[in-house]
A and B are shown apart, each in its own frame.
Chain A
Amino acid sequence: MTDTATAALPIDLGNGPFAVTTRELARRFGSTRALDGLDLQVPEGAVYVLVGPNGAGKSTLIRTLMGLVRYQDGAVSVLGRDPADRGAEVRAGIGYVPEDYRVGYSWMTVGRLLEHQAVYHPSWDAEYARELRARYGIDPGRKCHALSKGQSRRVQLVTALAHRPPLLLLDEPTDGLDHVVRDETLSILSEYLADSPTTVVISTHRVYEVEPLVDHVGVLSEGRLLGQLPRDDLYGGLLRYWADVPEGWTGPGELPGRVVRRSGAARAIEWTVWGDRDAVTRGLSQAGAAVREVAPLSVDEAALALLSGREAT
């Protein structure tokens, strides 16, 4: 089953060009369907955030794109190649921050680990690596096993960025970072995006932390996309409508939009609807509701609405 059948929001981003695509991607672990007919489309140059609850398949998807997990069905293209049989070339173009924050070889020093990474990446920018290390306050003499979660994340970010890859796959990149370091990370990512044409896929369940960087959103649930669209489309098309309604109001027979979530009290409703703002407002008004306010949702709220709306049905 493909996403189109179940998605509440559009999932087709058109004709690209795409840095990453998957078609009907499937992967099971035993009887669990981690990826269940997933159609991912990440346009070149996009900052694409994958949102979803734990266990939605975000990490499996990213690891599949890295060639670390073998997929069972469908097709995958990363930077124009299939990671299943050209994994080395795919990985050469990717800066990867894994979900697991433990850094490589526990017994290595951070400095040696960075040297190790540099050997494997001919495009390693030593100057940039030094700059990042300084900004993150990383001590190269430290043993990897002695790093805290946040320090490990910083080292992983340095190794992901320093070879200046055209594609970044960041799995929970802000996990374990304190406010200051998270802020610094966003600033570093902004500069990275400004400096070179880059596609970024960020998986997180804390979208608000990276929201200002994001321009594409994919909401993932149970191995399937509930929606995949440019952030601006989401901003303009998925809106929350507050309206005063008469007692016992049952709603319009038909609304020119898709109701993603219904909530609110008896005489004051709060609906989240995907559709044209004016048409939906008119539809609600004609059904006897006095629309008081219409407001866009943050990516976080939008994802929550989609995910909880799904649970309700």
Chain B
Amino acid sequence: MKIRLSHADGRPLYVQIMDAVRSGLVRGSLRPEDPLPSVRDLSSSLRVNPRTVSQAYAALERDGVVQVRHGKGTFVAPGVRPDEKERPRLAREVARRALADASRHGLGLADLMTALREVEGGSLHGDGSKEDGR
């Protein structure tokens, strides 16, 4: 599981960790029953307070995404169906951030939707980079 934290990101650190676990599930790099890194290892590699990791794991456990097995560690819950629940949830999270970003630039939902379709179409034709470069 690769997690990159950004302190410029508006989300609190524990939310970033939760989102990273969710996107791991959606991408398939994490599967049910997979072990998650221990709180100690993850906080050490992310250089964050272990409480932040515990907080993220506890919140994920409440959401039914992971299971804490005492003495063994934290595992992805066996019954997790990423496509049913995690994918739409993650998509909503991304959408919320995109909207907030748009609003910061004085743009509305309509502007965003139009631009999304244009960009998606453009990148299909392979000139997305040109758009960016202009």
Measured between beta carbons, the chain A residues less than 8 angstroms from B48 are 190, 212-213
Let me know if B40 and A298 touch, CB within 8 A.
Answer: no
Within 8 A of B (CB), among A285-303: 292-293, 295-296, 298
Given the contacts A232-B12, A298-B7, A187 and B103 also touching, CB distance less than 8 Å:
no
Let me know if A214 and B7 touch, CB within 8 A.
Answer: no
Complex Cα spacing A215 to B55, Å: 12
Most buried by A among B43, B49, B100: B49
Other A-B contacts than A190-B48, A194-B43, A242-B104, 4 sampled, CB-CB below 8 A, are A47-B49, A187-B44, A194-B50, A213-B48
- Return A304 CB to nearest CB of chain B, in Å: 15
The reply to whether the CB of A69 lies closer than 8 angstroms to some CB of chain B is no
Complex Cα spacing A213 to B46, Å: 10
The reply to whether the CB of A235 lies closer than 8 angstroms to some CB of chain B is yes
Complex Cα spacing A215 to B45, Å: 18
Measured between beta carbons, the chain B residues less than 8 angstroms from A311 are none
Let me know if A215 and B10 touch, CB within 8 A.
Answer: no
- Return B120 CB to nearest CB of chain A, in Å: 26
The reply to whether the CB of A125 lies closer than 8 angstroms to some CB of chain B is no
Closest B residue to A232 by beta carbon equals B12
Let me know if B50 and A212 touch, CB within 8 A.
Answer: no
Can you list, as one digit per residue, whether each of A45-67 has a CB less than 8 Å from chain B (1) or not (0)?
00100000000000000000000
- Select A193's contact among B46, B50, B100, B106, beta carbons within 8 Å: B50
The reply to whether the CB of A278 lies closer than 8 angstroms to some CB of chain B is no
The reply to whether the CB of B77 lies closer than 8 angstroms to some CB of chain A is no
Can you list, as one digit per residue, whether each of B47-58 has a CB less than 8 Å from chain A (1) or not (0)?
111111000000
Complex Cα spacing A188 to B52, Å: 16
- Select A186's contact among B47, B103, B106, beta carbons within 8 Å: B47
Complex Cα spacing A183 to B5, Å: 14
- Select B52's contact among A212, A296, A298, beta carbons within 8 Å: A212
Within 8 A of B (CB), among A173-222: 183, 186-188, 190-191, 193-195, 208, 211-215
Interface residues on B, range: 20 to 34
Closest B residue to A295 by beta carbon equals B10
- Return A21 CB to nearest CB of chain B, in Å: 21
Measured between beta carbons, the chain B residues less than 8 angstroms from A187 are 44-45, 47
- Select A215's contact among B40, B49, B104, beta carbons within 8 Å: B49
A interface with B by C-beta (< 8 Å): 47, 183, 186-188, 190-191, 193-195, 208, 211-215, 232, 235, 242, 292-293, 295-296, 298
- Ranked nearest first, the 4 interchain pairs of A and B with the lowest CB-CB distance are A186-B47, A194-B40, A194-B50, A212-B48
Complex Cα spacing A275 to B10, Å: 18
> Can you spell out 29 A-B residue pairs with CB atoms less than 8 angstroms apart?
A183-B47, A186-B47, A187-B44, A187-B47, A188-B44, A190-B40, A190-B48, A191-B40, A191-B44, A193-B49, A193-B50, A194-B40, A194-B43, A194-B50, A195-B40, A212-B13, A212-B49, A212-B52, A213-B47, A213-B48, A213-B49, A215-B51, A232-B12, A292-B103, A292-B106, A293-B100, A293-B103, A295-B10, A296-B10
Complex Cα spacing A190 to B47, Å: 6
Measured between beta carbons, the chain B residues less than 8 angstroms from A235 are 12
Measured between beta carbons, the chain B residues less than 8 angstroms from A296 are 10
Measured between beta carbons, the chain A residues less than 8 angstroms from B104 are 242, 292-293
The reply to whether the CB of B39 lies closer than 8 angstroms to some CB of chain A is yes
Measured between beta carbons, the chain A residues less than 8 angstroms from B44 are 187-188, 190-191, 194
Complex Cα spacing A258 to B93, Å: 30
Within 8 A of A (CB), among B9-46: 10, 12-13, 39-40, 43-46
Given the contacts A212-B48, A295-B10, A296-B10, A190 and B103 also touching, CB distance less than 8 Å:
no
Complex Cα spacing A127 to B10, Å: 41
